[in-house]
A and B are shown apart, each in its own frame.
Chain A
Amino acid sequence: MYGLGVNRLGVTNAPSGFSPLSLFANGEQGVWYDPSDLTTVFQQDGTTATIPWTSGDILDANRVGKLVDKSGNGKDALQTTLSKCPALKYVGGLYYLEFDGIDDGLQTASIDFSSSDAMSVFTGVRKEADETSVVAEISDNAGTNAGSFRLGSISGDKWRYSVRNTSTVNINANSYTAPQTNVVTGLNDFSDPVTTIRVDGAEIATSANSPGTGNFGDHALNLGARGNGSSLHLDGRIYSVVVRNVLSNANDIALTEAYVATKTGVTI
């Protein structure tokens, strides 16, 4: 059994004082996106602050063309085509990026994940449709590119975490029918090997199948769609994203999932 030793946490709030920034204190590669921090959300021009939509029509001013990475690694997520910019919304006390399921998507510059063969991906996400989509993916196709991952949904009622080196390991969390809002976490270590998907603070499935050895690659990170909004569009919302180029320990998993849950409005 390759479980990671964390189950339901029985908490609804991240412990006071915890910041995902601490997850990068030792120089870990990765990103942290927080749409609720309005100082990090900009319009298509990359310099004008995005105004959260609360009602009425969605305007240019509500569109997001730049989401600043708060990890300290400087990997901002960008979109320079106006019609492909997701909207920043503020509803029910929560901020989120709304992706239209047609052409919206954000992408970073290449991120050098090659120093490690492990990854931890934490997301607060809502899907409006049961179809194949990307919440977060490194490279333009994690199904074919070595050293990559995709976390998203697939047709049916499933969340999926996929990792690839010389082969692909797909692991699913079933029975999450849209519309569905969850904290979805993907964890893996190529050499162990272990690949795990967790939903709302509980481990749902884990696999010891090997995707091949080697480290992750030097790839762009895509949010809300594959390949800078080219395909596998998310019809839904992203509330929070934390990606670390390490296999997080049980304490960090618990703290990060609890933090993401507060941003997503999910009780875990």
Chain B
Amino acid sequence: MSVFATIVVSNSNKVEAQALTSLDMFTTEFKKGLRKYWVSSGNFPQDYYDALIDNDLVYLSLTDQNVKPTSGLFDLGLSKVITED
């Protein structure tokens, strides 16, 4: 079982979110103003999703599959940080 979501955690919650899920998750940086956030998007194993919710680590979550994740984040003022060569 899994849950489709785009989950955003604050920079201060990144380490704990990774500890509850995987070091391979929440590795993509977004920013909103000066604040830094970390995002994972896709199908989350149910236990990962529940752990993030239960521990109150989620800054925001998008679950509507009719909205493209990058568009949903952009609409909320979050922009992807792209580090070029």
* A residues with CB within 8 A of B: 57-60, 63, 80-85, 100-104, 128-129, 131-132, 141-144, 154-155, 162, 168, 228-233, 235
Question: Which A residues lie within 8 Å of B24 (CB)?
Answer: 80-81, 84, 228-229
Contact B65 A58 (CB under 8 A): yes
Interface size on B, residues (CB 8 A): 25
Contact A102 B28 (CB under 8 A): yes
Instruction: Out of B28, B45, B65, B85, name the residue touching A103 (CB < 8 Å).
Output: B28
Contact B85 A82 (CB under 8 A): no
Contact A63 B70 (CB under 8 A): no
Instruction: Out of A142, A143, A233, name the residue touching B28 (CB < 8 Å).
Output: A233
Known A100-B69, A131-B82; judge A83-B41 contact (CB<8 A). yes
Question: Which B residues lie within 8 Å of A228 (CB)?
Answer: 24
Give 20 pairs: A residue, B residue, CB < 8 Å, sorted on A. A57-B65, A58-B43, A59-B2, A60-B2, A63-B42, A80-B24, A81-B25, A82-B43, A83-B41, A84-B42, A85-B43, A101-B80, A102-B6, A129-B70, A131-B80, A132-B84, A155-B84, A231-B82, A233-B28, A233-B80
Contact B82 A103 (CB under 8 A): no
Contact A154 B69 (CB under 8 A): no
Question: Which B residues lie within 8 Å of A85 (CB)?
Answer: 42-43
| B55 on the A face (CB < 8 A) | no
Known A103-B28, A103-B40; judge A81-B22 contact (CB<8 A). yes
Contact A82 B42 (CB under 8 A): yes
Contact B41 A102 (CB under 8 A): yes
Contact B4 A58 (CB under 8 A): yes
Instruction: Out of A57, A100, A229, name the residue touching B70 (CB < 8 Å).
Output: A100
Give Cα A162 to B84, complex, Å: 13
Instruction: Out of A80, A102, A129, A142, name the residue touching B40 (CB < 8 Å).
Output: A102
0 or 1 for each of B6-50: is its CB under 8 Å from A? (1 = yes): 100000000000000010110110000000000111111100000
